Structure 1
Amino acid sequence: MSVRIDITGLTAERIHVVPSPLAELGMALHALAEPAHHPGLQGWTTSVSARLDPCLADRMCEADFLWRTTFSDVFTPCAGIPGRRTLPGTTLTEELDLLDKLSDEQFVDAALEFTCQSEYAKRDVARLDDARARERALDLAAARGTHQVRFTQRLLDDPPAIRAWFRELMQDCDEAFFSDVWGRVQHQLAADARHKTELLRRKGVAAALSAVSGSVSLDESGPAVVVDKISVGHTETGAGDLILTPTSLGWPHLWVLHREGWAPMITYPISSPGLTAPTSVEQLTRRMAALAHPVRMRLCRHLARGSYTTGELADAHGMTAPEISRHLSVLKKAGLITTRRQGRYVQHQLDLSVVSRLGGDFIEGVLR
């Protein structure tokens, strides 16, 4: 599973690594709404939440589904500007001005991601003009709660009013806590952007993408940028640009904008407390499937305690050597065991370092 960005005809000059204050504010809001996703930010989220004005906190709760369960495209309005060549602004005000340039239909689509994820990449109707589509959006919102229904109704009835409300909320969040955050991280983000840009210029697209994340790669046969995620999507740059946006608050999330008609964007964390090379979704799935078999689980009990040959394991489990070999082959392919030769014998042992990371790998994979 992956999200693919077709970059046929894209030159290196049309790949931009640019920080975005509005995207970073979105990440900050998400961290405040879901602190369990970001244990490394626990001190900051606790401090901000404790001193947040109650009225502002209530207003944030009115639309926290824009950043709690998904990362709404309203935080990356530059991608929706016609021509797909507009870059993020250097200030929050500049980016909010870009948000004002989106059409009402674009704004509504981006804001309704929390109810219409299955229709994210492509849609066939205009929700503002089609009564059935409006009703469908309200039905989907109802499954999420009454305040989502109220928000959706207001959004469909008067998009400019919601847009103005959202802008004022972002400005108040900036004054309350985000201006301090941005002042602290913007130089770090700019330095990372310069580094990735230099890699792009000197070593090419593949090297730059690899530096962005171990989950991002270049398929030169496409050519396409491939982002390893537990989701499937496809878009293309066409005549537009590809934008890479660093975030200091985003780990473990790796977010890909692949909305039809918008410039593709990848928002990536510049640091993480986990592995430098995250486990692929395919490998994670293979490991979990390997451990799901009761015989292989019993084998792991032996292999966790020491090194054993195929014959020893066959005797211990009352099975034939070929049967044991088949199970060991599955575990080895999943990267869960190591082998070493001792004379004419081959010994197998569980790789405890890999197994101990499975929980973290799973969480990182599903949140990526």
Structure 2
Amino acid sequence: MSLSIDIAGLRPERVAVVPSPLAELGTALHALAEPGHHPGLQGWVTGVTARLDPHLADRMCEADFLWRTTFSDVFLPYAGIPGRDTLPGATLAEELDLIDKLTDEQFVDLSLEFTCSSGYELPSNHVLADPELRRRAFELAAARGPRQVRFTQRLLDDPPRVRAWLRQFLEDCDEAFFADVWARVRIPLAADARHKTDLLRHKGLAETLAAMSPAVTLDEAGARITVDKLVQARTTTGDGGLLLVPTSLGWPHLMVLYRHGWQPVLHYPVGSPELASPPSVEQLTLRMTALSHPVRMRICRLLARSAYTTTELAQAQGMTAPEISRHLAVLKKAGLLTTRRRGRYVLHQLDVTVVARLGSDFLEGILR
């Protein structure tokens, strides 16, 4: 089985390699919803989950079917803009503006992908105007659960309201955790995009695709891209372009947008599935030693939940400030603490992302 993209007549300048912050946010949400798919991100997932505001976590569950079992094309809105040549935005805000440019019919169609209805690569029917399609949408949603039914009801009753809800939710995710992620991954993604663009110019599309993934090949005539996936489908670039979008968090997924009438997109993983390089053996020894002391474990338990001053920790532990300072110094040397100044106070907090990479059992123990 395979997915094919007819690119006959596609000019080289219509192929673009561009990172997408919105697509990366969608991938981050998928990793949080399905951590088992991304073993290399386990520490990051545990760390984000531990810090997540409970209200935002609840909202994250409202429409997680848009990124849990499928990757909704709502995260690739540029591909659906008329002309089929719009590129991803440089910022998340720019790409959220592109969602606003989609018609209500497009937005509803994208948001109902969780129904797994057939004919993804066929022209879309307008569910908003067809009572029979509405009935079918509710029937498919009911087979998947009450949350899907509630979401479908809201979506079909008031698409602009759901669109506004989704934008606010994604902006809140950006503030809560994704801005830090994007600051970390955008530079290597941009570097990969430049490398692939150079390959495209000097070596051609076949070598560029081969460098993306061994699962993507170009035929000898240079007219058809074949992607080795467990799906039988086809699409065409037509009079539009082809987008190659790198992702740092997406490994091992190689995703393809082949929606009818949209610009095809290959969303491919790059680099290591880890967000950061592993620590040295010396640094790992320092961290394990720092966490092995019972007093420091109790301090970590407090600092995993909130930021404390040295005086507050001394009072909570029934110890003197100098004793606490010595323990904090060990934790800080091991790279386990973050500190910030607030007026004349210095606040310490556990870096749960670093601790989570050492082992989720320890983190779960101190958060119990």
**Under TM normalisation by the shorter chain, which class is it?**
0.7 to 0.9
Could you tell me which residue of structure 2 aligns to residue 186 of structure 1? 186
Could you tell me which residue of structure 2 aligns to residue 136 of structure 1? 136
Stretch of structure 1 that moved more, 222-231 or 93-102:
222-231
Could you tell me which residue of structure 1 aligns to residue 149 of structure 2? 149
Quick check: 2:123–2:261 contact (8 Å CA) kept in 1? Answer: no
SS in 2 for 1:84: coil
In 2: Cα distance, 1:77 partner to 1:109 partner: 12
- Identity across the alignment (%): 68
Could you tell me which residue of structure 1 aligns to residue 109 of structure 2? 109
Quick check: 1:252–1:272 contact (8 Å CA) kept in 2? Answer: no
Could you tell me which residue of structure 1 aligns to residue 288 of structure 2? none
Could you tell me which residue of structure 2 aligns to residue 38 of structure 1? 38
In 1: Cα distance, 2:241 partner to 2:221 partner: 20
The structural deviation recorded for 1:219 is 1.5
Q: 1:57-136 alignment to 2 at 5 Å?
A: 57-123=57-123, 125-136=125-136
Could you tell me which residue of structure 2 aligns to residue 269 of structure 1? 269
Aligned length: 274
In 2: Cα distance, 1:220 partner to 1:149 partner: 47
In 2: Cα distance, 1:124 partner to 1:252 partner: 29
CA deviations 1:202-248 (Å, max 9, x no partner) are: 00010000011110110234611111100111110011010000000
CA deviations 1:88-109 (Å, max 9, x no partner) are: 0000000000000001111111
Q: Give yes or no for the alignment of 1:17 onto 2:32.
A: no
Quick check: 1:141–1:148 contact (8 Å CA) kept in 2? Answer: yes
Could you tell me which residue of structure 1 aligns to residue 355 of structure 2? none
In 2: Cα distance, 1:205 partner to 1:148 partner: 41
AA paired with 1:174?
A: D
Could you tell me which residue of structure 1 aligns to residue 7 of structure 2? 7
The structural deviation recorded for 1:124 is 5.5
SS in 2 for 1:119: coil
In 1: Cα distance, 2:114 partner to 2:241 partner: 26
CA deviations 1:285-316 (Å, max 9, x no partner) are: xxxxxxxxxxxxxxxxxxxxxxxxxxxxxxxx
CA deviations 1:162-217 (Å, max 9, x no partner) are: 10000000000000000000000000000000000000000001000001111011
SS in 2 for 1:217: strand
* Over 3 Å off, 4+ runs: none
SS in 2 for 1:68: coil
AA paired with 1:243?
A: L
AA paired with 1:270?
A: V
In 1: Cα distance, 2:232 partner to 2:120 partner: 11
AA paired with 1:57?
A: A
In 1: Cα distance, 2:236 partner to 2:83 partner: 13
Could you tell me which residue of structure 2 aligns to residue 175 of structure 1? 175
Quick check: 2:18–2:193 contact (8 Å CA) kept in 1? Answer: yes
In 2: Cα distance, 1:123 partner to 1:162 partner: 23
Quick check: 2:248–2:272 contact (8 Å CA) kept in 1? Answer: no
Could you tell me which residue of structure 1 aligns to residue 347 of structure 2? none
In 1: Cα distance, 2:51 partner to 2:163 partner: 27
SS in 2 for 1:118: coil
Instruction: Provide the TM-score with structure 1 as the length reference.
Output: 0.73
Quick check: 1:7–1:224 contact (8 Å CA) kept in 2? Answer: yes
Cα RMSD for the two superposed structures: 1.3
Q: Give yes or no for the alignment of 1:226 onto 2:226.
A: yes
